[in-house]
Structure 1
Amino acid sequence: MPHVTAPDGTRLAHHLRGNGDPLVVLPGGPMRASRYLGDLGGLAERRRLVLLDLRGTGDSATPAEPASYRCDRQVEDVEALRVRLGLERMDLLGHSAGGSLATLYAARYPERVSRLALVTVIPWVIGEPATAEDRLEAAQLRAGEPWFADAYPALTAWLAGEGEPDWDLLGAFFYGRWDDAARAHDAAAERETNEEAETRFHDPAAFDPPALRGALERLTAPVLVLAGELDGGPRPSLARRLAAVFPNAECAVQPGAGHYPWLDDPEWFTARIAAFLDAPARRD
């Protein structure tokens, strides 16, 4: 298994899937091992996926300093991977919390990004989290589904901070289709996630929204912000606000999709991502 050594000496694993031009993929969770991404719904048939296990997750080593789990402190891990791959510029995809890391990387190294895809990313980096109202609005779209009557009270309790969340019920709201495949995918999350790192990743100190907005003005690479129609975090309206931060961005909403759109409709997802990645560069 290929590894790269981070600037602080932590050994980071990355997994290669598929063929074609490389696409570096940063997982979410936050701090979930990259295996949950699978082959991104068949995207590996079009691109060679380079799936990074963030420090302390999957097959990557645990860092000596737990503070290095903070999102902004992992930017240099991504840069070390780019150097290890020998890429002058790279196509980069971040899913969910991995989109925070991808965005911070693009702000620090805009000249190293050729295209940036942000998939179901809550824009913590610009100080706009998903709200309880966002999640309830999305949940109401599922009112006709057979599991809704049991799951909705668990959702309202979670949003109100009433005790430990019941993820056996809440998981349904994160998938466009709550079938056996979705249940198995959701059930794997706990064992694939580094809980200590999860709590440190989105430390508010990692983000400086005004400075980030200014830095992103230097990013000339095309950006795709993809949201799921049924996702509560982010709602499509929030995804559009994230897209507006970039000089050269478009927003797409996948019909019937939740937070893991490659599971809900692999064909739609892979076709949309591939079309973005393969589009001719714009000439100004």
Structure 2
Amino acid sequence: MESRLVVNGVRHWVRVVGDPRVRTPLVVVHGGPGGFIYDFERLTGPLLEQLGPVVYYEQRGSGRSDRPSDGRYDVPLLVDDLEQLRRQLDLPRVTLLGISFGGDLAAEYTVAYPERVDRLILQGTALAGPLTPSPWTSGFEAVATSDELRTAIRVAVAESGPGAVWEVVDRETTDRFLFHQPAVAQQIRGLWEESGLVNTGELAGALAKQPPRPVPLADDLAALDVPVLVLIGLWDRNAGVDACRDLATRLPRARLHVFHGSAHFPNAEEPAEYAAEVAAFLAD
């Protein structure tokens, strides 16, 4: 069932596969910020849909959801959007699967509404706080193919911070950063083009201006008794294996799985192993 649900004044794109009344649904929370779920829905979705009901949605100003007329974006509002969607869909409890930034958002929701979350899956996110060094600089330098690009990366970061690295790298370098298998990178790029969807950068830009969280998100999550599965590709230079391992160590009911043939998107690069790990977690 595909629909548009109005939440907090914004029309959100939502698709429900299966019957959420039969089993706790898996709600997929995409990354970006400002990304979309089109490629995940087509590559990984069919495998997860065999395990039970799945809910796909796209955040305000992202993908097929509308841009807020007032231009308002902040994490508490994104969390409330998800809660209002849960209520409209009449889902007593959910399992959240957060991808990259979506993992941060899923964790924020879990902290706000722990009684509504059955389990939490974090893919390619370390819930890193503002004091944690970003792995982007070293990661992009590792995949850069020229001294000129490596120098440009260092200069951009020195002048404007880690986020500036995305402004100086080209598409080829970005693909080497995000993917371990070039063929998968090409496949994902093809789906992005097929979708006709783009990340406008509006959501990411707005969140970048928000004040830092008063308490690290990982600290709040560690205080909860919620089962957590942390998924990370061995070659993920975006979140970093070490940071995700440390996160899994901190959370009282977490387990870590490392995919040895993947970078930031193990769901696309090792789909069978990915689905098997999710299935085992849901059945445990």
Give the TM-score range, shorter chain.
0.7 to 0.9
Q: What amino acid is aligned across from residue 33 of structure 2 in structure 1?
A: P
What is the TM-score when the length of structure 1 is the normalising length?
Answer: 0.82
Q: Is the 8 A contact 1:18 1:45 kept in 2?
A: no
What is the TM-score when the length of structure 2 is the normalising length?
Answer: 0.82
- Give the match's secondary structure for 1:169: helix
In the alignment, structure 1 residue 229 sits paired with structure 2 residue 224: no
Identity among equivalent pairs (%): 29
| Alpha-carbon distance in structure 1 between the residues aligned to 2:150 and 2:209 | 24
- Give the match's secondary structure for 1:209: coil
Q: What amino acid is aligned across from residue 27 of structure 2 in structure 1?
A: V
5+ residue gaps in structure 1? Answer: 141-147, 280-284
- Give the match's secondary structure for 1:38: helix
Matching residue within 152, 155, 160 for 1:157 = 152
Map residues 249-268 of structure 1 onto 2, 5 A cutoff: 249-268=254-273
Q: What amino acid is aligned across from residue 34 of structure 1 in structure 2?
A: I
Matching residue within 193, 204, 207 for 1:198 = 204
Matching residue within 70, 84, 96 for 1:80 = 84
Q: Is the 8 A contact 1:225 1:249 kept in 2?
A: yes
| Alpha-carbon distance in structure 2 between the residues aligned to 1:191 and 1:59 | 8
| Alpha-carbon distance in structure 2 between the residues aligned to 1:160 and 1:111 | 46
Q: Is the 8 A contact 2:31 2:103 kept in 1?
A: yes
Aligned to 2:95: 91
Q: Which moved more, 1:118-127 or 1:54-63?
A: 118-127
| Alpha-carbon distance in structure 1 between the residues aligned to 2:94 and 2:264 | 25
| Alpha-carbon distance in structure 2 between the residues aligned to 1:16 and 1:156 | 47
Please give the per-residue CA displacement for 1:162-205, whole angstroms capped at 9, x wherever unaligned: 763212332122112111x4224236289431321222234452
Are residues 265 and 73 of structure 1, via their aligned partners in 2, closer, same or farther at CA, if it must alter by over 3 Å?
same
5+ residue gaps in structure 2? Answer: 157-164
- Give the match's secondary structure for 2:268: helix
Q: What root-mean-square deviation, in Å, do the aligned CA atoms of Structure 1 and Structure 2 show?
A: 2.7
| Alpha-carbon distance in structure 2 between the residues aligned to 1:156 and 1:47 | 48
Q: Is the 8 A contact 1:27 1:97 kept in 2?
A: yes
In the alignment, structure 1 residue 50 sits paired with structure 2 residue 55: yes
Q: Is the 8 A contact 1:126 1:208 kept in 2?
A: no
Aligned to 1:36: 39
